[in-house]
Amino acid sequence: MDKREKRRIQLELPKECFAHIERMINETGTTTYRNLFLEAITLLEVAVEEIKMGNKIGFQTPNGEFRPLISTMLRNVRTSSNE
Could you list the pLDDT tens digit for every one of the 83 residues in the chain?
566 788 888 989 999 999 999 999 999 999 899 999 999 999 999 999 999 999 999 999 999 999 999 898 999 998 766 55
Residue 22 bridge partners (DSSP): none
DSSP element (H, E) containing 59: strand 58-60
Span between the terminal Cα atoms of the chain, in Å: 32
pTM recorded for the entire structure: 0.77
- Contacts of residue 79, defined as CB under 8 A and 6 or more positions apart, other chains included, come to 51, 52, 53, 54
Torsion angle of the four alpha carbons 31, 41, 67, 63, in this order, in degrees rounded to the nearest 10: -40
